[in-house]
Amino acid sequence: METMLQVRIISREMVKPSSPTPSHLKTLKFSLFDQLNVTKIYFPTIFFYPRNDGLDKLEQISSGLKKSLSEALSRFYPLSGREKDQFCVDCNDEGVPYLEALVDYKLSDFLQPPKIDFLNHLLPCNPGVKIQDRASAPFLAVQLNVFNCGAIAISVCTSHVIADGLSASAFIKSWAAIARGADDQLFRPDFTTASTLFPPIDVESLIGSNRVTLAYNKEASCVTRRFVFDANALASLTAKARSEYVPNPTRYESLSALIWMCLMRSSNLPTGPCFVEHAVDVRRRVGEPLSAYSMGNAVIVASGVYHHHHHHESAAADTDIVRLQELVTIVSQSIEEVNVDFLTSLRGEQGFLSILVYAKGLAEMLQKGEPESYGFTNWCNFGFKEVDFGWGKPVWVSIGGQSWGFTNCVLFKDVDGVGAGAGIEVWVTLEEKQMLVFQNDPQLLAFALPNPPVSFSEPN
């Protein structure tokens, strides 16, 4: 029987910016992409560090983290504010919650294999609850967890109201650079270019019927599971995914197509269309003046649809390959449609008309009832595994466990030391009944390792 995780909160406080935000920066406009993001939840990241000589004294560690966090908040000043309305942020320096906790568990035991269902106990807030009172809710919350072996886990919950994964990564990496004294690695975050190019509009009436709220926000009991694909498995999968339509599929296209295929087989909705949504980074597609330093929710959804044929039949291996290649084509084409021309159509006042067209198309897809739908997010190459606060890089970076947000969600993140190169971790959140089928799919298990142990060297 698995030992229950005991986590005891020993302190709570608010950390505010080290210097006040200038008056001319007190109001920050949201961008159109901030507004279109309907997942108004906290998304978590947890960084695990084994015990070493730099982690001897809790008071010293905590003091350094709080001081550097305060300095980082001055650079990323909107994160200390609160939402004013659907158009802007009040950068009022109210600060972010900072908690300290003692964990009655050894890190080596916790990661052999990772205790996915216990991860949420290490978080400063519940990431699966939609933020209701957004006017008073902080945009960020931090918790320092100290294991009984001396190892630590730093968890950060970031509000999707104001940031996407790349923005969260930029903030956390800057915080870590300040903590270890690497000021030469800091940059000046850009909070205004996205909202200048894509100004906010009155979208609340338009996104109210978005199928994300229908297909993803379910009352049923949901679970999150982790699967690891090593470099050899990804190379084999990509080779099978090649076709005359997509002769050189990316690892993301190949893997998302495989996951999508297995998800459809595990579903209890055998007929009708199946939608898939991919979060696409706008920064790289627009180019200058947007950059990796542009903060906020600079993502947009690329949608694809697959019309069911007979996906519940016991398909032969060659039929699975054909379906895989077909899904790769849909994924590739949907992402390609988020091009410069499309993004240009969203700029300025004409963005309102483009969103009206988008909303109308969405309504037409919805009119036949609740669809089967899945959302994919890719955190590969975001640099989370490089976060070093002064005692080395984390041995593992995780998201939350169980239902950390909406259901029918898939998240990719890169992982080192798996196979002959970098692998990919896939985190899948589904209703419990569907997960029982999905996690036992032979096609999935032909490539995936279900929640393998995280190995690391412990000091003597």
pLDDT(208) > 50: no
User: Stretch 98-120: mean pLDDT, rounded?
Assistant: 95
| Last residue in a domain, options 166, 197, 228 | 197
Q: For the ranges 51-55, 193-197, 341-345, 455-459, which has the lowest average pLDDT?
A: 51-55
The answer as to whether 232 is a domain residue is yes
Q: Considering only CA atoms, which of 6, 37, 236, 238 is closest in space to residue 106?
A: 6
Rounded-to-integer distance, Cα 146 and Cα 55, Å: 10
pLDDT(320) > 90: no
pLDDT(340) > 90: no
pLDDT(206) > 60: no
Indicate whether 145 and 271 sit together in one domain: no
Q: What percent of the chain has pLDDT over 90?
A: 60
Q: Are the C-beta atoms of residues 215 and 371 closer than 8 Å to each other?
A: yes
Indicate whether 212 and 351 sit together in one domain: yes
Determine which one of 90, 117, 388, 441 is catalytic. 388
Q: For the ranges 135-139, 238-242, 401-405, which has the lowest average pLDDT?
A: 401-405
Indicate whether 102 and 218 sit together in one domain: no
User: Stretch 328-335: mean pLDDT, rounded?
Assistant: 95
| Residue 146 DSSP label | E
Indicate whether 16 and 133 sit together in one domain: yes
Rounded-to-integer distance, Cα 108 and Cα 451, Å: 15
pLDDT at res. 365: 59
Rounded-to-integer distance, Cα 152 and Cα 154, Å: 7
pLDDT(357) > 80: no
User: Stretch 33-53: mean pLDDT, rounded?
Assistant: 86
Rounded alpha-carbon distances, angstroms, from residue 9 to 6, 12, 43, 91, 452: 10, 8, 21, 29, 29
Indicate whether 67 and 125 sit together in one domain: yes
The answer as to whether 459 is a domain residue is no
The answer as to whether 2 is a domain residue is no
pLDDT(41) > 90: no
Q: Report pLDDT digits (tens) over 169-195.
A: 999 999 999 999 999 889 899 999 999
The answer as to whether 1 is a domain residue is no
Choice between 252 and 58, residue whose per-residue pLDDT is larger: 252
Structure token pair of residue 235 = 């190379």
Bridge partners, 9 (sequence order)? 101
Q: Note down the domain range covering 55.
A: 7-197
User: Stretch 443-452: mean pLDDT, rounded?
Assistant: 96
User: Stretch 104-110: mean pLDDT, rounded?
Assistant: 95
Determine which one of 160, 164, 230, 320 is catalytic. 160
Give the highest mean pLDDT range of 86-100, 205-219, 335-349, 406-420: 86-100
pLDDT(219) > 60: no
| Last residue in a domain, options 176, 197, 218 | 197
The answer as to whether 460 is a domain residue is no
Indicate whether 189 and 262 sit together in one domain: no
The answer as to whether 456 is a domain residue is no
Structure token pair of residue 104 = 């009655």
**Considering Cα of 340, then 343, then 347, then 352, what sign does the dihedral take?**
positive
pLDDT at res. 212: 43
Q: Could you please report the per-residue DSSP string of 55-69? A: GS-HHHHHHHHHHHH
Mean pLDDT of the chain: 86
Indicate whether 94 and 138 sit together in one domain: yes
Domain count, the chain: 2
Rounded-to-integer distance, Cα 391 and Cα 459, Å: 13
Q: Which amino acid is at 100?
A: E
- Alpha carbons within 13 angstroms on the beta-carbon side of residue 354 total 16
Indicate whether 353 and 243 sit together in one domain: yes
The answer as to whether 141 is a domain residue is yes
Indicate whether 259 and 174 sit together in one domain: no
User: Stretch 373-402: mean pLDDT, rounded?
Assistant: 92
pLDDT-based confidence at 55, cuts 50/70/90?
A: low
| Residue 395 DSSP label | S
Indicate whether 177 and 218 sit together in one domain: no
pLDDT at res. 205: 57
Q: Report pLDDT digits (tens) over 270-319.
A: 667 888 999 999 998 888 888 889 999 999 888 898 987 644 444 455 67
User: Stretch 257-265: mean pLDDT, rounded?
Assistant: 95
Q: Count Cβ atoms within 10 A of the Cβ of residue 3 and give its class: 0-12 exposed, 13-18 middle, 19 or more buried.
A: exposed
User: Stretch 57-68: mean pLDDT, rounded?
Assistant: 91
Q: Show the DSSP H helices in 272-424 as ranges.
A: 282-286, 317-336, 340-344, 350-366
Q: pTM for the full model?
A: 0.92
pLDDT-based confidence at 457, cuts 50/70/90?
A: confident
Residue 388 catalytic?
yes
Q: Show the DSSP H helices in 10-57 as ranges.
A: 32-36
Indicate whether 152 and 265 sit together in one domain: no
User: Stretch 27-47: mean pLDDT, rounded?
Assistant: 88
Rounded-to-integer distance, Cα 370 and Cα 102, Å: 44
The answer as to whether 294 is a domain residue is yes
Q: Which single residue is written with the structure tokens 């269309």?
A: 273
pLDDT-based confidence at 367, cuts 50/70/90?
A: low
CATH of the domain at 246: 3.30.559.10
Bridge partners, 14 (sequence order)? 97
Beta-strand runs (E) in 282-408 = 299-307, 372-378, 396-398
Indicate whether 151 and 223 sit together in one domain: no
Q: Report pLDDT digits (tens) over 230-242.
A: 999 999 999 999 9
| Last residue in a domain, options 197, 232, 267 | 197
Beta-strand runs (E) in 176-298 = 222-229, 273-281
